[in-house]
């Protein structure tokens, strides 16, 4: 049986996400119809910073902000947290910062950062 296109890995959330509107922290998820344009905007910013050799004021905070924005867009039905952490860490490495591991015992503190 072939899965529905929006349930295949790498596909954005469908326009009518069966899980409801959802939220990250206190903010609602990006409506599905805006995912594509917001991902393009986010990716354009990432590419601009990376191509400028990481010229940002606070690289660690910027990498976190990319992760935070990605989570608020929440483009996929599943795996957004994992993809967001990998994205953040790849940016950290490119900017000369160490990998940031979110340990299970630190999960509440990690999640609290999204509540802001």
Cα 58 to chain centroid distance, Å, stands at 18
Ranges of H-type helices in the chain: 35-51, 59-73, 80-94, 107-112
Query: Residue 28 — φ and ψ, nearest 5°?
Result: -70, 155
Query: Which residue ranges make up the annotated binding site for ATP?
Result: 78-85
The residues assigned a catalytic role are 74
Query: Which residue ranges make up the annotated binding site?
Result: 78-85
């Amino acid at each position: 049986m072939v899965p529905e296109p929006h349930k295949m890995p790498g596909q954005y959330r469908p326009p009518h996400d069966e899980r409801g509107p959802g939220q990250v922290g206190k903010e609602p998820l990006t409506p599905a119809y805006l995912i594509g344009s917001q991902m393009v905007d986010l990716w354009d910013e990432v590419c601009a910073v990376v191509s400028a050799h990481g010229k940002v004021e606070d690289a660690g905070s910027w990498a976190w902000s990319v992760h935070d924005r990605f989570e608020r867009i929440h483009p996929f039905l599943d795996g957004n947290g994992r993809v967001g952490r990998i994205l953040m860490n790849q940016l950290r490495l490119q900017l000369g910062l160490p990998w940031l591991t979110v340990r299970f015992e630190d999960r509440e503190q990690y999640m609290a950062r999204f509540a802001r």
